[in-house]
Chain A
Amino acid sequence: DTAVSQTPKYLVTQMGNDKSIKCEQNLGHDTMYWYKQDSKKFLKIMFSYNNKELIINETVPNRFSPKSPDKAHLNLHINSLELGDSAVYFCASSQGFAETQYFGPGTRLLVL
């Protein structure tokens, strides 16, 4: 009965590949987010969706493309992976904008 789940938990891939990370929430929330946590543990917001509509799109390379098929899902597709994309990616959800957010367990991406 995990509230916010992400798959995969670990992702090791070669530079130049394309990969996707999936996120699902069963909290009935209408807003979902993607964050990137770098090696210094800093949490940086990348995207947010409200009712499947893109709301926040921070300065993120257009190799990153989020997709929200419905309110409960927000996936992240990354094209042409680069070494600097190595990080932990967290999905989160909330009811309304930036109210209390609930985070997934993270996807640890390592680009070789």
Chain B
Amino acid sequence: GQQLNQSPQSMFIQEGEDVSMNCTSSSIFNTWLWYKQDPGEGPVLLIALYKAGELTSNGRLTAQFGITRKDSFLNISASIPSDVGIYFCAGHKGSARQLTFGSGTQLTVLP
């Protein structure tokens, strides 16, 4: 099925640095979601975006719904060791009965 282009595929950063990742699609989505998967666990929803241009924060995390409806961005400020994990974007089209997931960004935070 269709995939979202998520980048980067992996990141190694120093503790305290800011992180940015993004997701793009060739088609329009009505909802963008960002999930985090801790090692050995299931994905957990971080942020949900429902409106083009919407900017939403959850603690040190900020996500934006692109105005073209074809992309979304996630920023993490002042990274800490527990930010380690895989971050997935997901999109939903109004008529679809399933989410479309990105391939994930593996984040490693170095002390």
Residues of A near any B CB (own CB < 8 A): 4, 33, 40-43, 45, 48, 55-56, 58, 90, 92, 97-106
Contact = CB atoms under 8 A, between A and B. Distances in A.
A55 B42 contact: no
Given A41-B86, A43-B88, A58-B1, A90 B42 contact: yes
A100 B43 contact: no
A99 B92 contact: yes
A99 B98 CA distance: 8
Interface residues of B, number: 24
Contacts of A106: 40-42
Contacts of B101: 42-43
Given A41-B86, A41-B104, A42-B104, A102 B45 contact: yes
Contacts of A55: 97
A106 B41 CA distance: 7
Given A42-B103, A43-B43, A58-B1, A100 B97 contact: no
B67 interface: no
A48 B86 contact: no
Given A41-B104, A42-B103, A106-B42, A100 B48 contact: yes
A41 B106 CA distance: 9
